[in-house]
Structure formats: C-alpha cells, structure tokens
Chains A and B, each alone.
Chain A
Amino acid sequence: MSANTVAQEKSGASTTCFISAIGVENLGSLPSLLKALAAESGACGCVLWESVAPPGLGENGSDGYLVQLGQWFPEGHLCHPHPPLDSAISEAVLTQRPVHVGEDAFTDSRAFADAGLLERAGVKGAFVVPLNYGFGAVGAVSFFRQSADPFGPEEEARVERLASAVPFLYRANRNEVRCKLTSRIDKILGRGEARNPSRVPINHRVKRDLFQLCKAVADALKCGEVSIFLKDSTGGESALRLAATTRQEQSSKSSQQEGGGELNGWAAGKAAPVHVLDLCRVGGGGAPYEQLLPDLGLKGAPVGDGGGEDGDGASRPLSLAVAPITAGGELLGCIRCCTDAKDGRHLTTHDFKLLEFVAARFARYWDNWLRECGAHEERLSWLRRLQDITALDEFALDALSRGVADAERLICEKALGLAAAAIKGADFLDVRAADEGSEAPRLLAVCGEAWAGADATLRQSTLPYDEAADAAWADAFQKGGACLRAGDSIERFYADNFPGARHVMTSPIPLPGGRRAVLDVCGTGEESFSEHDSAFAEMICKRLGAYGHYAESLEKASAADAARAEALSRATQSEARLEELIQIHSQFHEDLSHQLKSPLISASTRGRKVLKQVSLENRLFKEWQAIIGLCSKATQVTNSTKLFAALARGEAFEPNLSPLWDDDLWKMLIELASDSELLFPPKRHVSFRVSRQMLVSLPPKMILAEVDNDLLQQALNNLLDNAGKYSFENTTVRISASFDKAGHFFISVVNQGLAIRAADVPKCTQRRWRGREAGLTTGEGSGLGLWIVEHIMKAHGGYLEIIPTTPNNLTEVRLVFPKRGEAR
C-alpha cells in the first residue's frame, strides 16, 4: 500500500477534525495552513511543493522540476524557494512514497547556498509525503524536525493522514484566493465600466483602475510584479506598451517601453499564454535570459538553484507568467506576473489559471472601454464636423447676402476644405456642375495637392463627358446620395489624370432649377470611405444645394425689390404729377374765381342801380331782378370755387377780421334773403324772412363779433341756398341772430323741408356727402356747401351747429362765433 493510498484510506475522522481545527478564517492564508499542519504534526516547519511540467520552451527548458508553493517556519523563510531536498522530494513524487531525510542533507553546501539557515534553526531531519492535488498536479509536503530520529510508524501514519488533507486544504485555499480576487477585480473594473468616457478625463481614471488591478493580482498571488501591457496603435505601428505595473522602479519611470517590445514577439505574435514557473532551472551555464528566452524580454541570467540576488543587489526572477488579453480574436495586450527571490515562492499552475481568468475578465472591460472611447471619439468628431458646417453656413450666407463676386466658387472651395479635413483618406476633391440643358460639366472648385499639381488647363477646361461620368452622375442622382466607385470602375477622367486615385465618392448636390452638380471625394489609400464619410459628404452637398436655393431667392427678392422700386418711382412720379395737377387746378379755380367775381359784382351793382330807377309796374323790373339774382348766384359759385381751391391745396383760411356791427348785419341779412328768394322758382313759393326781433332789443351800434365779411357772406349764402333747395313748397326760410346762454353770438337759419336725422348730423359736413333725399331733389350742387361753411367757422374760431330736424320738419343751422377777444 502506498503512503498516498494509506492517507486516503485513513482520511477519516481525525482528518476532518484537523480541517475543522484549522478554521475557515485560515483557509485564505497558505502560511497559516502550513503552520497549523506543522503544529498538528509536531514538526518545526512545513513546506509545500508542486511538480511542474516544462512550459514548452524548447531545448532550453528542463524536463520537469519542483516549485515551492509555500513554507512556514517560526523563524520566517528558512527554506530557499528552490527545493533543498530535491532528490528526496523528487523521489517521493516519483515513487509516491514518503521519504525520510537525514541531517546530512542540510549540510551539503554544494546543493544549498543557504543551508546554514536550516542548520542554525536546529533542523535535523525531514519527512516528505507525496501529494496528489487532484487537478493533474502532483507534489509533496515536507515536515521538518529538530530531531535526527526519523518518525516512528505511528507517527508516520499520523503525519500521512494529516498530509492527505493538504490537497483539499490547498484547493480550498486557492478557491478562497480566487474568490477574493474575483470580488476585488469586479469592484475595480465595475467602477470603470460604469464610467462615462465622455465626462471624465479618461487616461487618469483608467490608469488608476489598471494599477489597482495589478495590485489586486499581486496581493492575491503574493508576487512582486504584476504588469499590464496594452496595444498602442498611435503613430501607425502597433506595439505593446506598459500601461501599469506594481514594480516600484518601473512605475516611477516615464518610459513604458521596457518589456513591451520583447513581449510583442511572444504574446502579441502568438497570442498564447506563457508560463515559466522556475526560471532558475532554465538553461544553464550563466547564459543571459535574452539568449535563453529571447521572447520574454528578461534581463540578466539564471543564477542556478540558489536564486537570490545578483551582484548589483537586484532580486533575480524566479517565475513568470504572461496571459494575453484578447477580445474577438484580437490581441489587446497582456498581463504579466513575476515572482523573485524576495517573494520567496514560485508561481503555480493555480496562479497561472487565475492570471488567465484575470486577463479574460480585463479583456472584457478593456474591449468595452475601447468601444466606448471609439463611440465618444466618433461623437466628438461629428461635433467638430457640425461646428464646421455651422461656420460654412455663416460664410456662405454672408458671401451671398453681400453679393461677393464669385461667391459660389468661394463657398464650394470652403466646403471642399471642410470635407478634406473631416473625411479620412480624402486626398483630392472637386465640385462639378452642369448648367441646365448642358451635358458637359465643368469644374467649379477643387481641393487637394493632386489638383495643385495638376495641369492648369485641366482645371479650367470643361470635363470630358463620357459614359462613366454619366453613370456616376446618374447613380448619384438616382440614389439621391453618395455613390462609391473603386478600382477600374472609377471615372476615366480620374483614372487618366490622377493615376493614384483608387476610390471616388460622388454625391449629388440638389441645386435649384435644372442645374446639376456633384461633389467628388477621391482617395489614393487602400481603405475606402466609411458610412460616416458618406453621410458627411451628403450633408455638405445638401448645404451647397440649400445655398443655391438661397441665392436664387435672393435674386428673386432683388428682382422684386427692383420692381417695387420701379413701382415706387412710378407712384412718386404720379404723386408729383397729381400734385402738379392739383396746383394747376387750384390756381385755375382761383384765377377763374377772381376773373368772374369782379364782372359779376359790377353787373350786380349796376343792376341794383338800374332797378332803383325802374318802377315796380314796369315789365323790366322783374327782368332786372332775375339778372341780379343770377349774378348773385354766380358770385356765390365763384366764391365757393376760390375757397375750395384753397382747401384743396391744404391751406387754412386766414380771415380778415373786422367788427360786425348790428345794423351792418341787419342790412347784410336783408340783402342776402332778398337775393336768395330770387334764385328759386316762384311757383314753389319759398320765401326768405329776416327776424330782427332780437337785434332791436340790443343797444344801438353794438359790435356782435369779429368776422371776415366776405367769408361770412359766403357761409350765409351756402346756408340759404341749402335751405331754399330743400324746403317744401309754400314755406318760409327764417333768418335770425341772437346770443346763446354762454354769450356766444350766432346767426340762425331755419327752414321747413327735408329732414336731417341726428345720425346724419356728423356726416353733413363731410366733403361731397348729401342725404339720400337731398340728393334726389336737386339737379345741381356738389355736396361741398356745409364742408366749406364749417371751415369758415373754424377759421373764425367758431363752429357750425346743425340741430336735427324736429317732428314738424323744422331744421335749424347756426353759425356760432366766439366771444370777442377769445382766441381763435
């Protein structure tokens, strides 16, 4: 029966008790486990080993070796990471039997550089029990004793039973470590994943996350160095650069090149994991790592089984593991873990699997982060493009509004400049346009070095219009968007004149009317244009089309302005002409009035003189009366004409005021009444009577008002004429004068005839307004009578008062004058 079999059979109650005695809280600490194991077995120290297969490093690797997983001694680390009991442990592993080690083994200075440590600690012997860790790994556990005597059978059996629990405990320990590390990594990376890359400084926060990740791995694996290298494509060449490390001297350096380039050769080239669990066993003969493992980028040389420090005090590496960080088959970087003599342990298979897990977890984080950053960059890129478009808008609107010469070309050149800057791989660009009905497009604007170096005649000549060009245009306009052509299918014009052209993106510009134009973006690189590039080109084209529409609307508006200006000019001319005509008419009316008035007054005066000499019985008396009446009527008309001419010119009357004496008024009224009566057909029997009742009660020689005699006579004539025309047959028009309660002097004319309704009173003084019935009862008149009277009274500072008709058809109209001395 092998020791292992015995251990398995005896792993009964005592083992379970031992596991319980350790306590769950100690499962996470390998030294604590070993300490408990030593105490339980009565050993003075305990060391755990694992047998490791070579990593496939070719001829430089050994066939297999042991690595130390952990040790516990009361005095600290006494046992070198390289097994001091190599042969005994190997024997135990290979034979799967326990092996006793005597005191001699510790005094063999050839094998151990630090054998003195064990000796000074009083170690006299050891008992090595082989182990099966259960995941394809085997190893051993060494129990050190301060007695040279070997274990007795019972003691051996007890120790073997204890040893049988070690694989379980070790796995539990590793699981505990893995759980803690997983939790810690999730916390670190989860915080980063929740971060919005558009709102925080990316580099600073991410670097902190990466360092914390390294630190977490280093703490879990008890190793001195954990480094993360990430792929960096800046500058065109892809390389792995150090992004974060727990190595003190490295993190303080600004350069991140160390290790990166070499690791490229291995991890980036093969995208495969690397683990060298015992670097000291690699090769030999003092050859440097650069020769032994050129892919790993390690410096220095293996120091043999002793490990420790080299001459300059630097700690020699013991083990190393590299796990690539990949997402979707693409290498994003790698994470490297390294232990050295100070760490006092080798990396194990467990550690390496844990590192692979961390790399996979981080790959997810980093891939997501890159995507977020890419989206953010895309957003920023579009934001810049939109800002450029806004600037283009301002430029175009300003140029078009100001009517800048050759604005269309300038705007197109500006747009091409924006497209060249925003579209990746846009090496040379142009805008071609064909006028309505033309099939030969011409270049409107060009951009790019290729055009700068092109023949000048090429830029100025009309482009050849071939089938390919036709197809490109047709495709673009039919699709209503950008069309991509590459290789042999690009237009002959570009193929002939620009040999480097490999891609041409043609986008239609929706110009108004029958004009057609396209934007061509040409690239010479291998990579074609993206959907975003197409979208941006289309956006620029739509803008150019909109500017075309705007320019057309400006032209229309300009034409409309010109038409308006012409119409305004015509209106102004017409107005001037009208003004001139009014002046001519007005002048004519005034001249006419003057020329008629003098002879009419003379005729009237002479007629009255003759009439005095003709007796009433004489037949001529009536004739002379009629002549005088006609002269009076004609005089009224000439006066009205004169006043109307002045009012038509917009002039106010300037009355020539003089005192109106009561007896003068009386005479005036009598004469006007008499003349008015003559103007109307006798058969209608309308008479005019002046009532002097009020006036005789006044003191003699009283001044009634300040008046312009001519204007007053004109106003009274108009009132009496209206009164006579609209009176019923057999009625009397009564004329009187008096003072109202306020002391204002007024002259009143009352007639009985057609009614003036209260609602019509305000209208009576409107120019050319006549009441419905009044307009039907006369074959003459212009509707200006009361309008002129009102102006005359306003000129006097008084007013015209029309009192609506009473039920018995009496209508009164008054000329009301201001008190003497009252301001007009």
Chain B
Amino acid sequence: MKILLVEDDHFQIEDICEALDDAFPGVQIETVDSEYEFYVALERLEDSPPDVIIMDVMLRWAHPSPAMPPAPEEVVNGMHYRAGFRCLRRLAEHKEARKINVILYTVLQPVDIRADIEGLQGLPVNVVHLVKESGYGTFIRAVRDFNVNAK
C-alpha cells in the first residue's frame, strides 16, 4: 500500500507513520509537510499515484528559507487555516490524481469546516473527514476501509 501523508507537525508525522506501519506492514509512506511541497508532489502523483492521501487542514505554505517560493494571492489572504481545502481543489484539477481517496485528518470538528466541506460539492474528489483523536484505531480502520473500497 502507498500512502501520501500531508502533515506539518513532526511529532504527529512520527506517530501516524508508526501507527500505519504497525497496521499495514510494508506500507510505503511519503510525507509532505507544507502546502507548497504538496503542489510539487502533485506532478509526481499523475505517474505514481498513492492509494490514499491523508491530508491535514491547517498547513504552512513553506518552511522559512532564504529562497522561499512565492505564495499565490489566495494563500496570502487565506494563510494556513484552510490550506488542506486549497490542496483538494488543486488535486481536483488533475485527471488521474483526483481519483485518489483522501482522508481529511484534522483536529477541526465537522461544525468548524461545514462550509468548506459543502464548498467541495461538485468537485471530482473522493473525500472523508476524520477528527484526530489520541488513539489511532478509528483512523486505521478508515484507511483500511478506504483502501478496500478503492479496490
């Protein structure tokens, strides 16, 4: 199984990777910890798509760097708060990549992102929302179900 994890908290990256590795031995996990890196990775996904994308919602645009990539206007205006949804809309523009199942994995409650979820209606993406919890049982089951259904 091949998973793309989009998450900018390095503690959570370690924990999620460990949980996935335990649940799905031999799983291939690629991590991306900024919005810009996801856009870069999108080009690769057309040729080698993962089975599941696990997407955080609040993401930095990029790491501090002397050569920081310039941010689009919508990123400057929206900042990091709804970066995951921008990534999904960009994903929907890619013919192959938009077929990938996406799990929105965030601490935000459904009520917090209801309008954003409704904004995705009509987009050709397959997305489920899952709230982050202290354990990973629900999360693993969701990944498994998604993966089985996809096949």
A and B: partners? yes
A residues neighboring B (CB under 8 Å): 626, 630, 680-684, 725-729, 753-754, 772-773, 775-780, 809
**Residue contact A776 to B11, C-beta cutoff 8 Å:** no
A681-B10, A682-B10 known; 17 new pairs, CB 8 Å cut-off, are A683-B10, A684-B63, A728-B65, A728-B66, A754-B64, A772-B76, A775-B76, A775-B79, A775-B80, A776-B79, A778-B60, A778-B80, A779-B56, A779-B58, A780-B58, A780-B80, A809-B66
CA distance A728 to B33 in the complex (A): 15
Give the residue among A680, A725, A772, A777 with the most B Cβ atoms within 10 A: A777
Interchain nearest-CB distance for B73 vs A (Å): 12
B68 partner, pick from A630, A682, A683, A773, beta carbons under 8 A: A773
CA distance A244 to B65 in the complex (A): 120
**Residue contact A776 to B68, C-beta cutoff 8 Å:** yes
**Residue contact A777 to B76, C-beta cutoff 8 Å:** no
| Complex contacts, B58 vs chain A, CB 8 Å | 779-780
A sample of 11 cross-chain residue pairs with beta-carbon separation below 8 angstroms, ordered by A number, consists of A626-B14, A681-B33, A682-B10, A726-B64, A728-B66, A729-B63, A773-B64, A775-B76, A775-B80, A777-B60, A777-B63
**Residue contact A776 to B10, C-beta cutoff 8 Å:** no
Write the chain A residue with the least CB distance to B15. A626
| Complex contacts, A775 vs chain B, CB 8 Å | 76, 79-80
Write the chain B residue with the least CB distance to A684. B63
Number of A-B contacts (CB under 8 A): 54
**Residue contact B80 to A753, C-beta cutoff 8 Å:** no
CA distance A778 to B11 in the complex (A): 15
| Complex contacts, A780 vs chain B, CB 8 Å | 58, 80
| B residues 1-23 touching A (CB-CB < 8 Å) | 8-11, 14
Write the chain A residue with the least CB distance to B33. A681
Interchain nearest-CB distance for A533 vs B (Å): 76
| Complex contacts, B62 vs chain A, CB 8 Å | 776-777
CA distance A773 to B76 in the complex (A): 9
| Complex contacts, B83 vs chain A, CB 8 Å | 779
Which 8 pairs between the two chains have the least Cβ-Cβ distance?
A: A681-B10, A776-B61, A779-B60, A779-B8, A779-B80, A777-B64, A779-B58, A753-B64
CA distance A772 to B79 in the complex (A): 9
Write the chain B residue with the least CB distance to A622. B14
| Complex contacts, A773 vs chain B, CB 8 Å | 64, 68
| Complex contacts, A680 vs chain B, CB 8 Å | 10
B142 lies within 8 A of chain A by Cβ: no
Write the chain B residue with the least CB distance to A683. B10
B71 lies within 8 A of chain A by Cβ: yes
CA distance A118 to B9 in the complex (A): 160
| Complex contacts, A682 vs chain B, CB 8 Å | 10
| Complex contacts, B10 vs chain A, CB 8 Å | 680-683
Interchain nearest-CB distance for B40 vs A (Å): 16
| Complex contacts, A777 vs chain B, CB 8 Å | 60-64, 68
CA distance A630 to B65 in the complex (A): 25
CA distance A776 to B8 in the complex (A): 12
| Complex contacts, A778 vs chain B, CB 8 Å | 60, 80
Write the chain B residue with the least CB distance to A633. B11
B100 lies within 8 A of chain A by Cβ: no
B42 lies within 8 A of chain A by Cβ: no
A728 partner, pick from B9, B56, B64, beta carbons under 8 A: B64
CA distance A684 to B71 in the complex (A): 21
**Interface mask (B80-94 → A, CB under 8 Å = 1, otherwise 0):** 100100000000000
B75 lies within 8 A of chain A by Cβ: yes
B76 partner, pick from A626, A728, A776, beta carbons under 8 A: A776
B59 lies within 8 A of chain A by Cβ: yes
CA distance A15 to B20 in the complex (A): 166
**Residue contact A776 to B65, C-beta cutoff 8 Å:** no
Write the chain B residue with the least CB distance to A751. B64
| Complex contacts, B33 vs chain A, CB 8 Å | 681
| Complex contacts, B65 vs chain A, CB 8 Å | 728-729
| B residues 117-134 touching A (CB-CB < 8 Å) | none
CA distance A405 to B33 in the complex (A): 78
**Residue contact A630 to B60, C-beta cutoff 8 Å:** no
Interchain nearest-CB distance for B146 vs A (Å): 24
CA distance A778 to B64 in the complex (A): 9
Give the residue among B8, B14, B63, B75 with the most A Cβ atoms within 10 A: B63
CA distance A84 to B58 in the complex (A): 149
CA distance A432 to B33 in the complex (A): 87
Interchain nearest-CB distance for B111 vs A (Å): 18
| Complex contacts, B66 vs chain A, CB 8 Å | 728, 809
Write the chain A residue with the least CB distance to B60. A779
CA distance A776 to B71 in the complex (A): 8
| Complex contacts, A727 vs chain B, CB 8 Å | 64
B64 partner, pick from A630, A681, A683, A725, beta carbons under 8 A: A725
| Complex contacts, A681 vs chain B, CB 8 Å | 10, 33
CA distance A777 to B33 in the complex (A): 11
Interchain nearest-CB distance for B132 vs A (Å): 13
| Complex contacts, A772 vs chain B, CB 8 Å | 76
Write the chain A residue with the least CB distance to B75. A776
| Complex contacts, B76 vs chain A, CB 8 Å | 772, 775-776
CA distance A778 to B62 in the complex (A): 8
Interchain nearest-CB distance for B35 vs A (Å): 9
Interchain nearest-CB distance for A384 vs B (Å): 75
Interchain nearest-CB distance for B18 vs A (Å): 11
| Complex contacts, A729 vs chain B, CB 8 Å | 63-65
CA distance A790 to B63 in the complex (A): 27
CA distance A563 to B58 in the complex (A): 44
CA distance A298 to B56 in the complex (A): 134
CA distance A726 to B68 in the complex (A): 12
| Complex contacts, A779 vs chain B, CB 8 Å | 8-9, 56, 58-60, 80, 83
Interchain nearest-CB distance for A722 vs B (Å): 11
A626 partner, pick from B11, B56, B75, B79, beta carbons under 8 A: B11
Write the chain B residue with the least CB distance to A623. B14
Write the chain A residue with the least CB distance to B10. A681
CA distance A52 to B112 in the complex (A): 133
**Residue contact A630 to B71, C-beta cutoff 8 Å:** no
Write the chain B residue with the least CB distance to A770. B79
CA distance A684 to B34 in the complex (A): 13
Write the chain A residue with the least CB distance to B57. A779
| Complex contacts, A776 vs chain B, CB 8 Å | 60-62, 68, 71, 75-76, 79-80
Write the chain A residue with the least CB distance to B59. A779
| Complex contacts, B63 vs chain A, CB 8 Å | 684, 729, 777
CA distance A681 to B13 in the complex (A): 10
CA distance A680 to B9 in the complex (A): 9
| Complex contacts, B68 vs chain A, CB 8 Å | 773, 776-777
CA distance A50 to B140 in the complex (A): 158
Interchain nearest-CB distance for B131 vs A (Å): 17
Write the chain B residue with the least CB distance to A774. B64
CA distance A630 to B56 in the complex (A): 19
Interchain nearest-CB distance for B23 vs A (Å): 20
Interchain nearest-CB distance for A507 vs B (Å): 67
CA distance A809 to B66 in the complex (A): 9
Write the chain B residue with the least CB distance to A773. B68
CA distance A725 to B63 in the complex (A): 9
Interchain nearest-CB distance for B117 vs A (Å): 20
CA distance A630 to B75 in the complex (A): 29
Write the chain A residue with the least CB distance to B7. A779
CA distance A778 to B81 in the complex (A): 10
Write the chain B residue with the least CB distance to A775. B79
| B residues 33-50 touching A (CB-CB < 8 Å) | 33
